[in-house]
Homo-oligomer: A and B are copies of this chain.
Amino acid sequence: MTTLRPVIPYAKEQSMPIIQCDIREGRTPEQKQALARELTRVVHETIGAPIEYIYVLIRETPGSHHVKGGVALPPYAPPEEIQR
């Protein structure tokens, strides 16, 4: 895993952005690591917070607990036909 390299060299001042993600259970550990790392990176790049002070928290809940328009989502299932 690549370490994040700060792109804003003088952003040393204190900061504490808190980013909370509520997603369905089912993503792989690699996906969740990438999610958190990339969220951290863009917070740093867009609002200048020092990387070391950015907190990202991921909470997972069953698909049935995510209700959109009054209808619960199904459990997350990795798509088969997506090419990367």
Q: Which residues of A contact B (CB under 8 A)?
A: 3-4, 8-11, 13-24, 27, 29, 31-43, 45-49, 51-61, 64-74, 78-79, 81-82, 84
Contacts and interface: CB of A to CB of B under 8 A. Distances in A.
Nearest to A15: B73
B65 A60 contact: yes
Contacts of A66: 16, 55, 57
Given A21-B19, A35-B42, A56 B67 contact: yes
A20 to B, nearest CB: 5
Given A20-B19, A66-B16, A35 B47 contact: yes
A22 B60 CA distance: 13
A67 B14 CA distance: 10
B43 A35 contact: yes
